[in-house]
Amino acid sequence: MFSKQTLVGCESSSKPRAHAGACTGLPVSPMEYLHFQNLSLPRSQPIPGFDSNKKHLGFVWGPGDILVYETIYKASGGSAGGCPFVHEVRKDEDIYSPILRKLFNESHHIFVGLQRIRDDLPSKNKKPQFVSISKNYRSVIRACMEELQQVAVSTQDAALATQYGNQVSILLAVELIWNLCEVLFIDAAPAGSLVLHLLDWVRLHKADVDEKAREVLASESPAEHQAYWDVVISYVLQGRMDEARQVLVKRATLQPAARAMFKLLDNLLMKMPIFNPGETQTLTEFDVKWRHWREEVDRCLQDQSFASNPHLEDICKILVGDEDVLLEHKELLSTWYHFLVTRLLFSHPTVKPTELHYYAQSSMHMFLDTRCVPEPLDSILLAAFEFDIHQVIKDCSIALNNWWFVGHLTDLLDHCKLLQSHNLHFGSNLREFLLLEYASGLFTHHSLWQLAVDYFDHCPEFGRVYLELQIERVPLDTERKALKVIRICEQRQMTEQVRSICKIMAKKALRNNRLGSALSWSIRAKDAAFATLISERFLQDYCAKGTFSDLDLIDNLGPAMLLSDRLTFLGKYREFHRLYGEKRFSDAAKLLLSLMTAKIAPRSFWMTLLTDALPLLEQKEVIFSADQTHELMFCLEELTSGKSVPNPDRPMQDEDIETTKIELLRLALARNLAMAIVKEGTVEV
Q: Tell me the C-alpha distance between 314 and 325, whole Å.
A: 7
* Inside any domain, residue 541: yes
- Shared domain check, 329 and 371: yes
* Inside any domain, residue 333: yes
**pLDDT reading at 255 higher than 80:** no
Please indicate whether residue 142 or residue 402 has the higher confidence score (pLDDT).
142
* Inside any domain, residue 13: no
Read off the pLDDT band of 422 (50, 70, 90).
low
Read off the pLDDT band of 675 (50, 70, 90).
confident
- What is the per-residue pLDDT for 685? 39
- Shared domain check, 564 and 622: no
- Shared domain check, 219 and 194: yes
pLDDT over 70 percentage in the chain: 81
- What is the per-residue pLDDT for 472? 85
Host H or E run for residue 234: helix 228-237
Q: What is the DSSP string of 626-659?
A: HHHHHHHHHHHHHHHTT-SS--TTS-HHHHHHHH
- Shared domain check, 346 and 308: yes
First to last CA, the chain: 95
- What is the per-residue pLDDT for 84? 63
Q: Averaged over 651-655, what is the pLDDT?
A: 58
> Bridge partners of 66?
61, 89
- What is the per-residue pLDDT for 17? 31
Domain coverage including residue 443: 420-464
Overall domain count for the chain = 5
- What is the per-residue pLDDT for 9? 31
What stretches of 374-478 show up as alpha helix (H) in DSSP? 376-385, 389-399, 404-415, 430-442, 449-457, 463-471
Could you tell me if 43 and 3 are in contact, meaning their C-beta atoms sit under 8 angstroms apart?
A: yes
Within 13 A of 561's CA, how many CA atoms are on the CB side?
Answer: 15
* Inside any domain, residue 161: no
- Shared domain check, 316 and 196: yes
Strand pairing class (43-47; 5-9): parallel
Q: Tell me the C-alpha distance between 163 and 171, whole Å.
A: 12
- Shared domain check, 288 and 203: yes
Within 13 A of 227's CA, how many CA atoms are on the CB side?
Answer: 17
- What is the per-residue pLDDT for 139? 95
* Inside any domain, residue 346: yes
- What is the per-residue pLDDT for 413? 93
- What is the per-residue pLDDT for 23? 34
For 266-295, what is each residue's pLDDT tens digit?
999 999 999 887 777 788 989 999 999 999
Decide which of 48, 74, 95 is a domain's last residue: 95
Distance set, CA 170 to CA 27, 34, 151, 155 (Å): 10, 9, 16, 19
- What is the per-residue pLDDT for 297? 92
Contacts 24+ apart (CB under 8 A), 653-660: 658/607
Read off the pLDDT band of 192 (50, 70, 90).
confident
- Shared domain check, 561 and 609: no
- What is the per-residue pLDDT for 534? 80
Could you tell me if 54 and 79 are in contact, meaning their C-beta atoms sit under 8 angstroms apart?
A: no
Read off the pLDDT band of 557 (50, 70, 90).
confident
- What is the per-residue pLDDT for 239? 92
- Shared domain check, 439 and 351: no
**pLDDT reading at 639 higher than 70:** yes
For 513-544, what is each residue's pLDDT tens digit?
888 888 888 888 887 888 888 887 877 777 77
For 77-102, what is each residue's pLDDT tens digit?
555 555 667 766 665 666 667 888 89
For 215-230, what is each residue's pLDDT tens digit?
988 888 888 889 999 9
The least confident of 61-70, 77-86, 578-587 is 77-86
Tell me which amino acid residue 248 is: L
Q: Tell me the C-alpha distance between 425 and 652, whole Å.
A: 76
Decide which of 431, 464, 497 is a domain's last residue: 464
- Shared domain check, 487 and 460: no
> Bridge partners of 55?
74
Q: Averaged over 62-72, what is the pLDDT?
A: 69
Q: Tell me the C-alpha distance between 74 and 655, whole Å.
A: 72
* Inside any domain, residue 272: yes
Give the E-state strand segments of 79-154 in sequence order: 86-90
Contacts of 98 (CB under 8 A, 6+ apart): none
Read off the pLDDT band of 606 (50, 70, 90).
confident
Average pLDDT of the chain, as a whole number: 81
- What is the per-residue pLDDT for 16? 30
For 18-52, what is each residue's pLDDT tens digit?
333 333 333 333 333 233 334 434 455 666 666 66
Q: Tell me the C-alpha distance between 411 and 414, whole Å.
A: 5
- Shared domain check, 629 and 540: no
- What is the per-residue pLDDT for 20? 34
- Shared domain check, 368 and 439: no
Q: Which of 45-54, 256-265, 596-605 has the highest mean pLDDT?
A: 256-265
Provide the angle, in degrees to the nearest 10, between the axes of the packed helices 123-154 and 404-415.
160
- Shared domain check, 459 and 360: no
Q: Tell me the C-alpha distance between 482 and 480, whole Å.
A: 5
Q: Averaged over 671-682, what is the pLDDT?
A: 81
Read off the pLDDT band of 5 (50, 70, 90).
very low
Of 381, 324, 395, 372, nearest in space to 24 by CA: 372
Three-state secondary-structure class, residue 191: coil
With b for 16 or more beta-carbon neighbours within 10 A and e for fewer, the 376-396 pattern comes to: bbbbbbbbbbbeebeebbebb
Nearest-Å Rg of the Cα atoms of the chain is 41
Could you tell me if 605 and 570 are in contact, meaning their C-beta atoms sit under 8 angstroms apart?
A: no
- What is the per-residue pLDDT for 617? 83
Longest dimension (CA), the chain: 144
**pLDDT reading at 406 higher than 90:** yes
Three-state secondary-structure class, residue 334: coil
Three-state secondary-structure class, residue 473: coil
Q: Tell me the C-alpha distance between 199 and 197, whole Å.
A: 5
Determine whether 660 is exposed, middle or buried from the number of CB atoms within 10 Å of its CB (0-12, 13-18, 19+). exposed
* Inside any domain, residue 204: yes
For 290-341, what is each residue's pLDDT tens digit?
999 999 999 999 988 888 889 999 999 999 999 999 999 999 998 999 999 9
Decide which of 387, 409, 441 is a domain's last residue: 387
**pLDDT reading at 111 higher than 90:** yes
Read off the pLDDT band of 629 (50, 70, 90).
confident
* Inside any domain, residue 284: yes
For 354-378, what is each residue's pLDDT tens digit?
999 999 999 999 998 766 778 899 9
- What is the per-residue pLDDT for 424? 60
The least confident of 410-424, 474-488, 536-550 is 536-550
Q: Tell me the C-alpha distance between 456 and 465, whole Å.
A: 9
Determine whether 603 is exposed, middle or buried from the number of CB atoms within 10 Å of its CB (0-12, 13-18, 19+). exposed
Read off the pLDDT band of 138 (50, 70, 90).
very high
- What is the per-residue pLDDT for 49? 65
The least confident of 14-23, 166-175, 536-545 is 14-23
Q: Averaged over 417-436, what is the pLDDT?
A: 76
> Bridge partners of 5?
43
- What is the per-residue pLDDT for 78? 53
